[in-house]
Amino acid sequence: MPAAAPLPPAKRAAPAGAGAKAAPTSPGERLGLRSDWDFALHLPLHYVDETRITPIAQLREGRIAVVQAQVLQAELMAARRRVLRVTVEDGSGRLELRFFHFYPNWSRQYAPGKELRIRGEPRRGLFGFEMVHPVCRVAAPGEALPQSLTPIYPAGAGISQAWLRKAVAAALRRLDAREWLPADLLERLQLPPIAQALQLLHAPPPQLALEALEQRSHPAWRRVKFDELLAQQLAQQMARSRRAEQRAWPMPERGGGLVQSLLRALPFALTADQAGCVAEIALDLQREQPMHRLLQGDVGCGKTVVAALAAAQAIDNGFQCALMAPTDILAAQHLQRLAGWLQPLGVGVAWLSGAQRKREREAELARAASGEAALVIGTHAVIQDKVQFARLGLALVDEQHRFGVAQRLSLRAKGAGEQRQPHLLMMTATPIPRTLAMAVFGDLDISTIAHSPPGRQPVRTRVFSSDQRREAVKQRVRELVLQGRQVYWVCPLIEPSEPGEGEAGGEGGEGGQLGARPRAGARGGQPELRAALEAHAELQALLGEQAGCVGLLHGRMPSAHKAQVMEDFAAGRLRLLVATTVIEVGVDVPSASLMVIEHAERFGLSQLHQLRGRVGRGSQAAQCLLLFSEPLSQTARARLQAMHESSDGFVLAQKDLELRGPGELLGQRQSGLQGLRHADLREDEDLLELAREAAASLLREHPLAAREHLQRWLGAGMDWLAA
């Protein structure tokens, strides 16, 4: 693609005066609506046809209708619960309105003789048609009917639809909706002008088919979705152009250096996929432009050794490398492997964790600051203010979707100096479907390890009802443990007294996917989620004299305690490990051959696959047993079916995108997704392709239009592009 044309400066709002008092939060600000464009792009969820009045005699059960009728009587019924009953008639028949929640003044508002305009869903009652909690208001004499469908907007507590309609209408009147996109582009894509599209979506004529509007397939909807995707693609391509102007330290490959020594020392040969990724990264590191690459691959595919060779190339050129992982366990796993490979070759390795004692931490900080430690590994502790590097040239981020934009930027800033940026390599074990890669990672280069190394055992996955097969599963676990085999037993909660909570500390949750249902007997009558503490005690009792070989691991344990438990399990001193999702990543015990996951219906698909990846790492045949509790939602059933049918992370990632959208696949903090309010990556792939092509053309031929379009959609919210 030719280089993008230079862009004019962005328009920026003037900063508020220092010391000025913050204005009271308005209803719009509570919804994130501040500018006229914010209101214009706050589009309806659905519509109600209030353009026609339906006589009571012509009402149809279950079909929402608008009725205009006169109040006959309003009475307060003092039964088991207070009910306000209002009877109305319109000359064709009578209708009863029932309100279970109401204000005292409603009985006056609905006084006999008042003319009401009523919208609701009629149903058959004891005395004819009735509506429960319809929308009612007093009709003004001679009040005309609306000329367009009535929009129903997304709203928050205390924000009325009437207020939103007025605010949106006022914003549309003020809006500068000039057309920035070239006419030939709109004609080719058969898209209407943006002003026309917005007017239609906020106030559609009654003859328009509601299905096309509410399914978002109408051309007006396609225009809005295209514009949104175009803004995202413009921003990504601009970010890539900006990075091309930045400078990094080039790190050429050195024959006979550390990289070659590491390759000779490894106890295995690289696979073709690994070697290809190493070559791509090595080429990036030799350039003066900062590397901005994502290394993706399925669970256990061997991303760590690729990262180790990248670190070796940086260290070979006199630079330091920092690796940041989201959990203590994963960071410790990297420390064990990378230190095991690189320390014998003379590389100093430092470890930083929030759980370190002050003296130990200060010693590691000094080694990083002096350059004695060429490789620094840790958790979020790596980006704290006190951490300084002598010459950071390469930043590695594992499980990158667990980190926010600010955290990745902070790590890169540790190496900024001499107007140079460190190279950045991010890693993920959650494979990215092609559509998502274009939408969210379009500004990244992506390297893929598509196949696992030889020797990995396939994991057979079976799905059982907990009510029917849990006891049989427990007996199977007992048999294996008594045979000396090792088993994981995963639960979604720590204690049974914590309904509605997931794992604390964010060490294993996926955007809240582990939220528990209420316990039995609580509101809703849902079954209690079995807790890790409870399961631990139960399995100890099952094993009797062998109870000492049952360990417990969860995110609220002190880091040292967690490390000791994992060491005992890896060494075989523990044979059954009851754990929460703290073991989702970074746990590698080759002798473990069985994974049991309770309440599997409560886990995300990618999370189930990550957990399953903890077994099958040795020479023994491995199994994963998924225990579920009824009732199962359609989505949960589809997830479990997908787990049963496939062990391919790329297949499951695509299924995850189809089932739940990008949020679950990438995690709630993954930047870039916040910008997609209207487009759906599962349904709008054709628009995404068109937007990608149009963005390149617009930047090249119409840079002012590109800037104005981007400003209209994203404003100042472009921080995520830098990370």
pLDDT digits (tens, 9 = 90+) for 373-427: 999 999 888 888 888 999 999 999 887 666 655 666 677 777 766 678 899 998 9
pLDDT at 490 over 90: yes
In this predicted structure, what is the pLDDT of residue 200?
95
Domain 52-145 belongs in CATH node 2.60.370.10: no
pLDDT at 524 over 70: no
How far does CA 255 lie from the centroid of its chain?
Answer: 43
Question: Of 68, 109, 102, 204, whose CA–CA distance to 149 is shortest?
Answer: 204
Average pLDDT taken over every residue of the chain: 83
Class of domain 459-518+525-646: alpha beta
Domain boundaries, the chain: 52-145, 258-449, 459-518+525-646
Q: Which amino acid is at 441?
A: F
- Token output for 89: 């008639």
Give the residue, 313 or 504, on which the prediction is more confident: 313
Strands 423-428, 292-297: pairing is parallel
pLDDT digits (tens, 9 = 90+) for 35-94: 999 999 999 998 888 888 999 999 998 888 899 999 999 888 876 778 888 999 999 999
Say if residues 589 and 570 touch (Cβ distance below 8 Å).
yes
pTM of the model: 0.71
- Do the domains spanning 258-449 and 459-518+525-646 agree at the CATH topology level? yes
Say if residues 69 and 116 touch (Cβ distance below 8 Å).
yes
Taking the C-alpha atoms of residue 341 and residue 338, their distance in angstroms, rounded to an integer, is 5
Q: Which amino acid is at 122?
A: P
Taking the C-alpha atoms of residue 588 and residue 595, their distance in angstroms, rounded to an integer, is 13
Least confident range of 167-176, 210-219, 503-512: 503-512
pLDDT-derived band of residue 717, with 50, 70 and 90 as boundaries? low
CA dihedral 613, 617, 623, 627 (to 10 degrees): -30
Tell me which DSSP letter residue 153 carries: -
pLDDT at 282 over 90: yes
Say if residues 177 and 194 touch (Cβ distance below 8 Å).
yes
Taking the C-alpha atoms of residue 401 and residue 430, their distance in angstroms, rounded to an integer, is 9
**CATH hierarchy code of domain 258-449:** 3.40.50.300
What is the average per-residue pLDDT within 468-484? 93
Say if residues 551 and 569 touch (Cβ distance below 8 Å).
yes
Give the residue, 579 or 102, on which the prediction is more confident: 579
3-state helix, strand, coil in the chain (%, to 5): 40, 20, 40
Least confident range of 80-89, 102-111, 276-285: 102-111
Asked whether the CA dihedral 547, 548, 554, 556 is positive or negative, the reply is: positive
Taking the C-alpha atoms of residue 268 and residue 304, their distance in angstroms, rounded to an integer, is 13
pLDDT digits (tens, 9 = 90+) for 285-305: 999 999 989 899 888 888 999
In this predicted structure, what is the pLDDT of residue 528?
52
pLDDT-derived band of residue 498, with 50, 70 and 90 as boundaries? very low
pLDDT-derived band of residue 317, with 50, 70 and 90 as boundaries? very high
CA-based end-to-end distance of the chain: 22
